[in-house]
Amino acid sequence: MLKELKYIVNCDKDFVRDLTETKQILIGLGIGVLVICGGVLLPFIFYTQKKMNLLWNQIKKSAIEDSKIFMELCVDRLETLHKAYNFSITQTTQKQKDRIVYFSYKYNYLWRLVLLALLGSCYYLISNYCFYDNIEFLLNKKPELYYNIIFARARTTSLNFFARNYAVEQMLIDPQHMSPNFVSISTDYNEKLQYNTEELLKNLNEFVKPGFKELRSNKIVKSLFSQVQDSSGIMRAGIYAGVFNTIFESFYIGFSVDYHKSIDSQFFQVIELYYKNIVELGHGMEHIFEDAQNWSITIITRYLNSYIIFAIVFSVALLIIYAVLYYPFLHTQEKKVQALDFFAGIFLNSVEDKIKA
């Protein structure tokens, strides 16, 4: 039984380990996508910065070169049609011609790109440390919890077996005395009782360690350390105390009675109550096992639901941020590019007209 249960525990832990590896791969892919997007967009930002300023300077150069022609046409129209002769053409200085127009686009793009990377990183960090790690921890602890409850249940029942057989051995009606040549197993019930007790105490102490805190519901804690509902017997102070009392009774039955002398009839009443307590503790631990199963599913489901809510809220927040910060900015930049394209078209047409002329 021990090997089978350990195998089941190891299988569950291997399954959790596989889930963890899958989680790490997915997080790595997500961060990788962010890095790739950033790596692609970053050069594009500087490329756009360079090309936009180059285009603005080309337009400026064309505007300066063609401005004299436009002004002459305007002055000629004023003089011919409106008889206005008080206008003169200001000559463009060399400094104006040589001045480089520079507009900084990259910072507006960069801080938005950095913000996007930070938001994505925050999502993965919060998901990992607040949800994934807790769920992984609970999934790892869950089989250990079941293991300790099952063995505490089995070893509590075994107290009865070893104490009773030790008593039988003392009365010389044990198989070891009746047929010593045909008994192939050890019948050192004294040693087995002590070993079983030590292992039982280990199971109980493991179960109350802080690592299992989240997997212990209030109902389980009350069953362990407070009076169990509708119980006035061995579990009136909780199952934990009941098991310790049963251990004491087991050693009393095994070692405190001289079975070679006449036994008081009250002792058999103690034995009867002892058996009844064993059965009652067994049922109590079965209920704890069921409660532990239900509660572990409940607490893990809560984390999953909380993560789903977090993912939805974070997604909505990203949509709002996009609507407030990104979309207006991109829309404005699109309008600027369209305006730039319009001006470039005007000057290109002007150049073509001059070439034709």
Higher per-residue pLDDT: 319 or 276: 319
Confidence of residue 88 (pLDDT cuts 50, 70, 90): low
| More reliable by pLDDT, 181 or 60 | 60
What integer is the mean pLDDT of 35-57?
Answer: 79
* Total number of domains in the chain: 1
pLDDT band at 66, cuts 50/70/90? Answer: low
Burial zone of 51 (CB within 10 Å; 0-12 exposed, 13-18 middle, 19+ buried): exposed
Confidence class for position 312, pLDDT limits 50, 70, 90: very high
Contact between 196 and 162 (Cβ < 8 Å):
yes
pLDDT of residue 283: 85
* Polymer length in residues for the chain: 357
Non-local (6+) Cβ contacts of 108 within 8 A are: 329
CA distance 314 to 120: 10
Instruction: Band the pLDDT of 317: cuts 50, 70, 90.
Output: very high
Asked if the model's pLDDT at residue 349 lies above 50, the reply is yes
pLDDT of residue 183: 46
Q: H helices of 188-238, where?
A: 189-207, 218-225
Q: Which residue has the tokens 């069921």?
A: 290
CA atoms within 13 A on the CB side of 11: 7
Higher pLDDT, 106 or 303: 303
Rounded Cα–Cα distance for residues 240 and 247 (Å): 11
* pLDDT bracket for residue 93 (50, 70, 90): low
Q: How far apart are CA 273 and CA 255, in angstroms?
A: 18
Q: What is the mean pLDDT of the chain?
A: 77
Q: What is the residue whose two structure tokens read 């000057």? A: 347
Q: Using CA atoms, how far apart are residues 357 and 354, in angstroms rounded to an integer? A: 5
Top mean-pLDDT range of 187-191, 220-224, 267-271, 308-312: 308-312
CA trace torsion 317, 39, 25, 215 (10° rounding): -30
pLDDT at 182: 44
Contacts of 233 (CB under 8 A, 6+ apart): 276, 277, 280
For the chain, the distance separating the N- and C-terminal CA atoms, rounded to the nearest angstrom, is 102
Q: How far is CA 99 from CA 59, 95, 122, 192, in A?
A: 13, 6, 44, 98
Most confident of 3-17, 53-67, 137-151, 302-316: 302-316
Q: Give the mean model confidence (pLDDT) for residues 267-276.
A: 78
Alpha helical stretches, state H, the chain: 2-81, 94-98, 106-126, 133-170, 175-178, 189-207, 218-225, 239-255, 265-321, 327-356
Q: Above pLDDT 90, what percent of the chain?
A: 6
* Contact predicate 101/56, CB 8 Å: yes
Q: What is the pLDDT averaged over residues 9-31?
A: 81
Mean pLDDT of 218-225: 83
Against a cut of 0.75, is the pTM above it? no
| Residue range 165-183: mean pLDDT, rounded | 54
Q: Find the domain containing 303 and state its range.
A: 2-356
CA 48, distance to chain mean position in Å, is 39
pLDDT score at 323: 92
DSSP structural state of residue 171? T
